[in-house]
Structure 1
């Protein structure tokens, strides 16, 4: 499943909108969600971000759901763990296994954590899907974020897409060779995929370092400063 975030960030109705406003709105609502313990605010933030991404920026629903897929999986796993293993008080549901059950406090904690995760990730999705990386890095530079952090962010952003492209290429190659027909071949193919991906990642990192050295990298990567209309 290939997902080009960079293409979406450059091709939506909010890509040329004032980048400072988008950053302030996304970061401000995210911080408010984390600080304020308010379930209603979490739901409002999630709905508002969904309206801005889907209705205003006109990002497709499929792309938005793809972006939220991985956070959803981790949020569900985390909340299930909180639901059954945290909380005090009388059980409202007993699994019958070693005293594991659900209490009212654990239920409230799981719901609050789930909604807060969704609200924060929706803010991140709004910023990521509507703002090109050059704009975001420029905002970080303006607020005096140390250059080393900006360079690391840029290199990580570039490396993630290389990593995903390699993963997609190897996955398709295995699929065309019927590597995922049965359970046995699937496990074998997945093992080979991750082992090859690890070595490919090391090779790409060495290539990246060589390319930086050949361009006389001195600890600073010039970042393009986009000139936009800032509507």
Structure 2
């Protein structure tokens, strides 16, 4: 279902279709997936904050003269303002991002990685791709755990008591983070080798019961949104 709704977001010409996808995916993730809505909101803050930093560059235009279909103000001989086309493009980017991110979170928060790898393996995805996916997933958490441990150690040594000490602590963390994470990743690879790693990562899949009604409902919802996106 996440793939179908993501396709609907990418194929939609009407700006309101990604909003429907966002509402549906968010409701399913929070209600059916039982994800705390506060956690879901915090997860959304990261991509939304990143996008809001770039949207003004899309919505605003700089010109040597005012354009009739927008509102402009003059700065040092240049006219800065927004046109209907720029605002429409910014709106489309925002709603597409919300819809696409909600599809990603629906998949990530409801499907364990071993189950996803098992599905991809049954779909004849190359083993090399699955291995890279698994290792990247693991090493992302190695990097995150290393950063949290270093920050906790700095906090215990009063590294964030003032503005100056905070800057020095952040500088030290950033300067040593990749080196420490690389060392931990090397230790992880050594542990895999000692346990007989031969290039194939085998994970245990948890048997799960599939309900035909849920499968049909998900296919109908996703297919309907995709059909609506390509026809409207």
Query: TM over 0.5: same fold?
Result: yes
What SS class does the counterpart of residue 60 from structure 2 fall into?
A: helix
CA contact (8 A) 2:62 2:81 kept: no
Q: Paired residue for 1:82?
A: 58
Deviation per residue, 1:42-87 (Å, 9 max, x gap)? 1100000111111222210121122222211222123222122599
Aligned residues: 207
> Could you tell me which of 130, 149, 152 is aligned with 1:169?
149
1:109 to 89, 109, 132: 89
Q: Tell me: CA distance 1:224–1:85, structure 2 relative to 1, closer, same or farther (3 Å).
A: farther
CA distance in 1, matches of 2:7, 2:14: 12
- Establish whether residue 124 from structure 1 lines up as the match of residue 100 from structure 2: no
CA RMSD of aligned residues (A): 2.1
Q: 1:191 pairs with 171, 174, 189, which one?
A: 171
The equivalent residue for 1:93 is 71
Extract unaligned runs of 5+ from structure 2.
212-232
**1:46 touches 1:118 (CA, 8 Å); kept in 2?**
yes
Change (3 A) 1:37 1:60: same
- After TM superposition, the score normalised by the length of structure 2 is 0.81
Q: What do the CA deviations read for 1:168-221 (whole angstroms, capped 9, x no partner)?
A: 122222223332232211211111111121111211222123223323433211
Distance in 2, Cα, partners of 1:188 & 1:62: 32
Partner of 2:40: 64
The structural deviation recorded for 1:147 is: 1.0
What is the alpha-carbon distance in structure 2 between the residues aligned to residue 180 and residue 93 of structure 1? Answer: 45
Structure 1: stretches of 5+ with no match in the other structure:
1-24
